[in-house]
């Protein structure tokens, strides 16, 4: 055995070994400092988890008609992708079950995003077997830290360093810059180490247990795609387990005015860089037009 989990996809590699400590409240804390990834176990209590599930279905009752669809609820500020700004007329009050843990979120303690808390919340229900295609969240419009709280059931998240394929997709003509890279509704073919004939980096799966909080910064936020494979069962510690309904709260902070932009180390999947490339091409076209007149 070379560290491979029986039944795991052969091209998946185990996640790098994390730095493991405990939080001040005694919960397991796993960190992958090189890529800016943190996983805090038992971030919420089972009682809080139950309250969240009840509150979610008070708004979106489960019925058999949409039992197989992902359900989303949005709270806080709404970002208007046509004006590139906050639509102040659309603010949905943030439910108390989110407000209750907001002060416990680990926020930056230094740097330009010091103390910054999320102000946009997407709560989602994934029926058993549902997934989300691998994608990179838009860089320029949101603060660096992305938070994802899992509850109801655990699920493995797939991470992979983005490559040529994602860069090419982001530069397709007519593509909306705001759409997450790869999230075109079409599952990315991940067999072997090639996608559409283009070599990709190996992927690794990280189990996100129920009640855990994932925080993505740095490379894991800007350079890696993350997604969830649609499948009915997962292999956890060598045992096949059925996937139950899983809920998540994705939390972001919206950038305003001059904050919008990005100078990350991953220009291939950076929407700010793509916009600069388009503007440079447009300037060149205008110069050429003037010269031929
Ligand atoms: Zn960027």
> 48 C-alpha to center of ligand 1: Å?
35
Bridge partners of residue 206, in order along the sequence: 157
- CATH class in words for 19-292: mainly beta
> 272 C-alpha to center of ligand 1: Å?
6
Write down the mean pLDDT value for the chain.
Answer: 84
Q: What is the Cα 37 distance to its own chain's centre?
A: 12
pLDDT by residue (tens digit) across 61-118? 887 666 778 899 999 987 666 666 677 778 899 999 999 999 999 999 998 899 999 9
pLDDT at site 14: 62
Report helix, strand or coil for 42: coil
Average pLDDT over residues 195-204: 69
CA distance 217 to 260: 17
> 65 C-alpha to center of ligand 1: Å?
40
ipTM of the predicted assembly exceeds 0.95: yes
- Please, how many CA atoms are within 13 Å of residue 223, restricted to the half-sphere of its CB? 16
> Which two three-digit tokens encode residue 211?
């009640």
Q: Which residues surround ligand 1, an ion (CB under 5 A)?
A: 139, 262, 264, 270
> 158 C-alpha to center of ligand 1: Å?
20
Residue 199 — very low, low, confident or very high, per pLDDT cuts 50/70/90?
Answer: low
pLDDT at site 238: 86
- Percent of residues, the chain, with pLDDT higher than 70: 82
Buried-exposed string 250-265: b where 16+ CB fall within 10 A, e elsewhere: bbbbbbeeeeeebebe
Average pLDDT over residues 164-183: 66
CA distance 252 to 217: 12
> 216 C-alpha to center of ligand 1: Å?
14
Q: What is the Cα 279 distance to its own chain's centre?
A: 28
pLDDT at site 84: 61
> 178 C-alpha to center of ligand 1: Å?
13
Largest CA distance in the chain: 72
Of 252, 253, 232, which is closest to residue 243 (Cα–Cα)?
232
């Amino acid at each position: 055995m070379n560290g491979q989990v029986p039944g795991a996809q052969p091209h998946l590699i185990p996640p790098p070994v994390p730095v493991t400590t405990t939080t001040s409240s005694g919960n397991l804390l796993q960190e992958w400092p090189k890529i800016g990834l943190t996983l805090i176990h038992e971030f919420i209590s089972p009682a809080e988890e139950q309250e969240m599930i009840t509150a979610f279905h008070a708004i979106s009752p489960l019925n058999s008609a949409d039992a197989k669809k992902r359900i989303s609820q949005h709270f806080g500020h709404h970002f208007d992708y046509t004006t590139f700004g906050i639509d102040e007329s659309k603010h949905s009050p943030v439910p108390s079950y989110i407000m209750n843990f907001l002060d416990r979120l680990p926020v930056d303690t230094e740097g330009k995003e010091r103390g910054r808390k999320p102000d946009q919340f997407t709560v989602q229900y994934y029926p058993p077997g549902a997934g989300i295609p691998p994608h990179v969240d838009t860089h320029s419009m949101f603060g660096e830290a992305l938070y994802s709280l899992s509850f109801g059931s655990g699920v493995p998240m797939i991470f992979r360093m983005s490559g040529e394929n994602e860069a090419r997709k982001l530069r397709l003509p007519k593509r909306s810059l705001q759409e997450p890279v790869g999230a075109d509704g079409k599952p990315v073919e991940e067999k072997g180490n090639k996608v559409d004939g283009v070599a990709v980096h190996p992927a690794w799966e990280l189990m996100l247990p129920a009640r855990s909080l994932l925080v993505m910064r740095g490379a894991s936020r800007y350079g890696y795609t993350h997604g969830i494979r649609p499948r009915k069962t997962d292999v956890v510690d060598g045992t096949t387990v059925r996937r139950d309904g899983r809920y998540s709260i994705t939390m972001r902070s919206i950038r305003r005015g001059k904050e919008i932009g990005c100078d990350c180390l991953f220009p291939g999947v950076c929407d700010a860089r793509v916009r600069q490339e388009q503007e440079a091409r447009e300037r060149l076209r205008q110069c050429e037009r003037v010269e031929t007149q």
